[in-house]
Structure 1
Amino acid sequence: MVQSFEDAGKAGKEFLDAGLKNFAAMSKSAQALAAEAAEYSRKTFEDGAAALEKLTGARSLEKAVEIQTDYARQAYESFVAQSTRVSELYAEIAKEAYKPFESVVAKAK
Structure 2
Amino acid sequence: MINNFDDMQKLGKDNMDVMMQSFGAMTKGFQAIASEVADYQKKSFETGTAAVEKLVSAKSLDKAFEAQSEYVKTAYEGFVGEVTKIGEMYSDLAKDAYKPYESAFSKAAK
Same fold (TM over 0.5): yes
Q: Which residue of 1 aligns with 2:89?
A: 89
Secondary structure at the aligned position of 1:32 is classed as helix
Deviation (angstroms), 1:2? 7.5
Structure 2 residue runs of 5 or longer lacking an equivalent are none
Letter matched to residue 66 of structure 1: E
Superposition map of 1:45-64 within 5 A? 45-64=45-64
Preserved CA contact (<8 Å) 2:2 2:8: no
Letter matched to residue 68 of structure 1: Q
Superposition map of 1:71-82 within 5 A? 71-82=71-82
Pair 1:100-2:72 in alignment: no
Within 2, Cα distance between the matches of 1:33 and 1:18?
23
Within 2, Cα distance between the matches of 1:67 and 1:38?
26
Q: Which residue of 1 aligns with 2:37?
A: 37
Identity of aligned residues (%): 48
Deviation (angstroms), 1:32? 0.1
Letter matched to residue 84 of structure 1: T
Give the TM-score taking structure 2 as reference length.
0.93
Deviation (angstroms), 1:30? 1.0
Within 2, Cα distance between the matches of 1:71 and 1:21?
43
Deviation (angstroms), 1:79? 0.4
Q: Which residue of 2 aligns with 1:20?
A: 20
Which aligned segments of 4 or more residues in structure 1 are displaced greater than 6 angstroms? none
Give the TM-score taking structure 1 as reference length.
0.94
Secondary structure at the aligned position of 2:8 is classed as helix
Q: How many residues align?
A: 109
Secondary structure at the aligned position of 1:59 is classed as coil
> Measured at CA, do residues 106 and 37 of structure 1 come closer, stay the same or move farther in structure 2, by a change above 3 Å?
same
Structure 1 residue runs of 5 or longer lacking an equivalent are none
